[in-house]
Amino acid sequence: MTEILKQTRSICSVCGEIVPATYEVRDNQQVFFTRTCPSHGDVNTDLGYNAAYYRKSFDVEKIMIDRYGDGGDTDISKGLSPFPLRKPAGLAILEVTER
């Protein structure tokens, strides 16, 4: 059974279109990042056997969004930070292949 940890967006490695993506836990707590392109199908990236780490990371992310908002284009610190907090930066997953 697959557990979806988070739904997000990514880029198809073939056509460069923005496509839906998910972080999924599969057998033996193995985590995959799966991109689904309507034209080119699924691409699965194995992120290892560390589901607990990803669960904790996404739980912290939810807490921060609840506390400070989802980013938008405005200051999300709600006056609580001396530094204006803008939309959070994305995390890049760099795949190294033998192609």
Q: Which of 37, 32, 34, 33 is nearest to 14 (CA)?
A: 37
Domain-embedded: residue 80? no
- Using only C-alpha atoms, the chain has a radius of gyration, in whole angstroms, of 16
Domains held by the chain: number: 1
Domain-embedded: residue 33? yes
Domain-embedded: residue 77? no
Per-position pLDDT tens, the chain of length 99: 899 999 988 889 899 999 999 999 999 999 999 999 999 999 999 999 999 999 999 898 888 877 776 655 555 555 555 444 555 556 666 777 776
For 49-86, the DSSP string reads S-HHHHHHHHHHHHHHHHHH---TTS--STT-SSS---
Is residue 1 within 8 Å of residue 14, measured between CB atoms?
no
